[in-house]
Structures are given as structure tokens and as C-alpha cells.
Structure 1
């Protein structure tokens, strides 16, 4: 149970996240679940409804109890770190609004976890996957659609949500796209010729009116294309090719970044192309590149 005052505070914080930071709906839902779970735990832990005043008195031992309980629910270190980040963000906002010291909450340490490195495909495998997508549907416009979407992910480094957010107003596709990414941030992304050609081919075959303001990529009945449809057809293609389960639509974006880096691309420029808010996110690709170089080194180095 969550007290009405705490629920109102949570809603106010979520609205602030959306208004000031442009947080996506899915992100807001995750934030809401994480903080609501924290508030519900505190109600049980303290044995009473946690209104605003009790929430201002949460101490270090309370935070340790919540984190221990959460770990006991088979929540991994990465997920616990995400939940803690949401709780801290909520408390920063609440402390500023209510004028109390939130040090006990804000000083809680997230568990360490091994950052998962992106799993890019080899350039040949990425191209094979794109080619094989065209063979997964007997309906020509659907085959062209699937190939066009994944070509944009690999050729432009788009997130799947960004590719599916394109509209008929983006046709005919030129040499650059204006993309609105996470947090409502805009960036300009160059569009390589194969991606332009793939989209143009799809647009010629698509049976629906791709007028400005309507989704560019359509489902079978003409509605917006569901991301799951792209994931499923990619699964079928990678199975046909014998590629690992890590060969996902999102891996094509990772492959775009890694292949640019391997070709001598500037890390800061790649950050801009990907729309990463922080360079540290993009720096994960340098670890991928280092891993590849070390593998080559180990194979080539004389063993004495």
C-alpha cells in the first residue's frame, strides 16, 4: 500500500520527468514501478503508511533493508542499480520540494556489476543478415519493408524506435535524416545510398498511402509496424544463417558503431551519430575494439 500523499508525490515527479527531461512513456512506466515498489516496501518495513513526513526520515538502515529485500527477490545487480537510480532521482526532487536532507538515500551505493559490452556482428554477417531478411516473406512489400528497416539500423545507427518513428514526410529520403532520439534530443544522421535505395524500394511496393504525418513503416493491416515484428523476422533470418542469439536488431546499431570505430572513426563523432547523451556510453565500443585487438594479438603473438 502507498499513501495518497506519496502517490501524489510520485505522480508529480513523473510529470516533471516528462516535462523537463522528455522521458519516454516506457521509461516513465519503469520509473513508476521502481519507485512504487520502494514505497510499498517501506510501508511494510515500517509497519505504517509512508506519508511525506515519514519518507523524509528514511535512514541508511532502511535503505540497506530495501536493497537486501530486493536482492532476495532474484533481482540482479544491474536491475537493482536501475531501481536505486530511480529512487534517488525521486528523492532529489522530493527533497528540493519539501526542503529536507536526503543524504541517507542519495548516499546509498549501487552494487557493482560487469558492464555488458555490445555484441556487434562481423561486417560480412551483418550484410548476410540484411540479404536474408528479404527471403523471410513471400509478400514482396513486406520483404522489402523488413530489409529497409534493418538496413536503416545498420546503415545509420538508428534505434529501432527511431526507425519506426519515421513518417511519410521523410520520403523521398535524402542524404541526411533529422532524428528525434531519447529525451527529445534531435540529431542529424547521414543516410548511405544502400539505405536510401532500400527505403525507396519499400515505398514503391507498399500498398498503403505513405503521406506525411503517417507512419512510414506499416504492419500487414496498415497500422504502425510493431517492433516485435522486426525482432521476429530477424530471429528467423539469423537462425537460417546460423548466427548467435545476440544477432538482434539492436545489435545492428552496435555493429554500425563498432565498424565505424574499426575504420578509424572519431569517438566523439560516433557519439553524435548514435545520439548518446554521454561519451562514456559510446566508450563501450572502445572496449569492444580492444577485445578484438587482444584476440588478434593472442593468436599472432609467438608463444616462445
Structure 2
């Protein structure tokens, strides 16, 4: 036996104490432990880690690199206790990270998506998806955060949502516009009228009264955007793009109002649940409207002639 299992549990426990969930890492490390035991290896070596990372021979090089990075992080930890541990070098697998091109939904696009959701056959399903997609579009919440909301997390009286297990297991408050609160209140009444009693303490529920699954939400979003013609062979809108669009629209509105972006970016970052403002820049694509507004402000500031 390799004896890695105990070290894996200690490693996961340590990192989770810092707020990391590590669900994927736990699954992969369990596979690695089983592989090491079958190979009769007592120490973690570079050759062992690389051989395991390449087990799915049909996988992409990027996938191999992700698998190896999980083992590499564990090896760094293990090396502090076992001098015979070899930390696999970085750069073994040449990878290329391409950022998915976001689809920036216009307001008419969002209205069409909500109208299509409203037309779904089941009244409860229609109300759920219309309200869910609407909330994501106007709040910038992550889809996982919205699906994980309990009824108690949505305070319809004060118009504030409490996200209790955001990224890195942090808690944050999301204040809502009164129109959003009204829409959520209307949904709650419809949900409770059409589905009694609930089978799970969730705000957004399925027709069976259970929590919505991420895969099911993704399928519904793909179906709607395909039907509307928003999804094509080259354009692939994702649910996550609603969050991206919220960030960009906020910056555009600030630009139009003459608001200092630098002074307010931290507010947007906190609202989105980012650890630092630098993380928010990931969402700010160089969209033509945003760049035009920025150029206009530069011309005003420096007195350039058009």
C-alpha cells in the first residue's frame, strides 16, 4: 500500500480550512491513490504522476495538464514530510488556455429569453426559469449561487439576498432593486401555489419540488437560445454570460454617467463576490460601446480634437 490516503485527507483538510472546496481534487486524488496502490509505489515520483495524468489517452493535452497540476500541488505538500517525494516539474504538457468568447446579451436579447422561458409548457417551470434567468441578468450572481439559495436566504422584506457559500466558502449580501424584489415575490407566490409542499428547502425549485440541477438549467438555456436564433454554429451563449453582461453593462452605465471607474470598481468587485478588483477585469471585454465611451472621456480629459 502506498500510504498516500492518510496524507491526502490531511492535505484536503488543510486546504479546506482556507475556504477551498476541492471536490474535483478529492475525486482525482482518490483515483491517484488507487493507481499508486495498484502499482505498489511507496513514494510519489514524477514518472508515477505523469503516467497517471496520461491515463485517459483520448483526453486533450489540456486535460492531462489539469490532472497533473492536482498531483503537483499535493506533491509540494507531501514533500515537506517525505523527502523521497518528487514534485513533477511544471510545463510537462504544452497547454493553451483560450478564454471562451462571451456573448454579451443586449436588453432586447434578455427580454426575448425571459419571454421564451415564460412560454414553457409547465406553469411552474415557466415561472422558475423566467425568474432565475432574470435574477442572474440583473444581479450578476453565479448560477451555482442562485441554485443554492434557500427560502430563508431571500429576504423579500428588505430586498437582500444572502449567499452563504460563495466562492472560497465566503458569505456575502446582494442588495436588490425594488423591481427585482417584486419579481422574486411574485415568483414565490406562484411557486407555493403550484407546488405544495416543497420537497427541498430551496428558493428555485423543479416541478417535483426539488432543487434544480446545473446540467438541467444549462440544457434549458441552450434550448431557449437555440430556438431564438441566438445560438449558432459559431456563437454559443452560456448562462454564465449573463453574469459577464451584468459587469460590462455596469461599467458602460458608469462611463455614460461620468462616474470614476477606478473609484467604484471595488464596489462592483464586492457585489460580484470577487476577492480583489483585479478579478473583475476578467469580465470586462473590450466591447465597442465601452471602448468608445472610454475614448470619448480621454478626449475630454486631454483636450484632444476629433
What TM-score bracket applies, with the shorter chain setting the length?
0.7 to 0.9
Question: What SS does structure 2 have at the residue aligned with 1:283?
Answer: helix
Q: Aligned partners of 1:263, 1:232: CA distance in 2, in Å? A: 31
Q: Aligned partners of 1:290, 1:219: CA distance in 2, in Å? A: 36
> Structure 1 residues 143, 221: closer, same or farther in 2, change over 3 A?
same
Which residue number corresponds to residue 188 of structure 1?
173
Which gives a bigger RCO, structure 1 or 2 (Cα 8 Å, sep 6+)?
1
Which residue number corresponds to residue 221 of structure 2?
234
> Structure 1 residues 72, 202: closer, same or farther in 2, change over 3 A?
same
> Structure 1 residues 271, 291: closer, same or farther in 2, change over 3 A?
same
Instruction: Give 1:101 shift.
Output: 7.8
Summarize deviations over 1:35-92 as a string: whole Å, max 9, x none.
Answer: 3455566678xxx4122xx22xx25xx3795498369543232x34432332232123
Aligned pair 1:258/2:248, yes or no?
yes
Which residue number corresponds to residue 177 of structure 1?
161
Instruction: Give 1:285 shift.
Output: 2.3
Q: Which residues in structure 2 correspond to 1:30-41 (within 5 Å)?
A: 30-38=24-32
Question: What SS does structure 2 have at the residue aligned with 1:16?
Answer: helix
Which residue number corresponds to residue 203 of structure 1?
188
Q: TM-score, normalised by structure 2?
A: 0.75
Q: TM-score, normalised by structure 1?
A: 0.75
Question: What SS does structure 1 have at the residue aligned with 2:163?
Answer: strand
Q: Which residues in structure 2 correspond to 1:112-261 (within 5 Å)?
A: 112-124=95-107, 125-135=109-119, 137-169=120-152, 170-172=154-156, 174-180=158-164, 181-206=166-191, 207-208=194-195, 214-244=201-231, 246-261=236-251
Question: What SS does structure 2 have at the residue aligned with 1:142?
Answer: helix
Larger % of helix: which? Answer: 1
Q: Does the 8 A contact of 2:204 with 2:212 survive in 1?
A: yes
Aligned pair 1:88/2:106, yes or no?
no
Question: What SS does structure 1 have at the residue aligned with 2:162?
Answer: strand
Instruction: Give 1:7 shift.
Output: 2.4
Instruction: Give 1:171 shift.
Output: 3.9
Aligned pair 1:49/2:47, yes or no?
no
Which residue number corresponds to residue 108 of structure 1?
90
RMSD: 3.4
**Unaligned 5+ residue runs, structure 2?**
255-260, 294-306
Q: Aligned partners of 1:270, 1:63: CA distance in 2, in Å? A: 45
Instruction: Give 1:258 shift.
Output: 2.1
Q: Does the 8 A contact of 2:124 with 2:190 survive in 1?
A: yes
Q: Aligned partners of 1:158, 1:256: CA distance in 2, in Å? A: 9
Instruction: Give 1:209 shift.
Output: 5.7
Q: Does the 8 A contact of 2:151 with 2:201 survive in 1?
A: yes
The alignment covers a number of residue pairs equal to: 276
Q: Aligned partners of 2:76, 2:19: CA distance in 1, in Å? A: 18
**Unaligned 5+ residue runs, structure 1?**
297-304
Summarize deviations over 1:150-200 as a string: whole Å, max 9, x none.
Answer: 111111111112112212212426333221302211222231334222211
Instruction: Give 1:239 shift.
Output: 1.9
Q: Aligned partners of 1:239, 1:155: CA distance in 2, in Å? A: 22
Q: Aligned partners of 1:116, 1:272: CA distance in 2, in Å? A: 23
Q: Aligned partners of 1:5, 1:215: CA distance in 2, in Å? A: 41
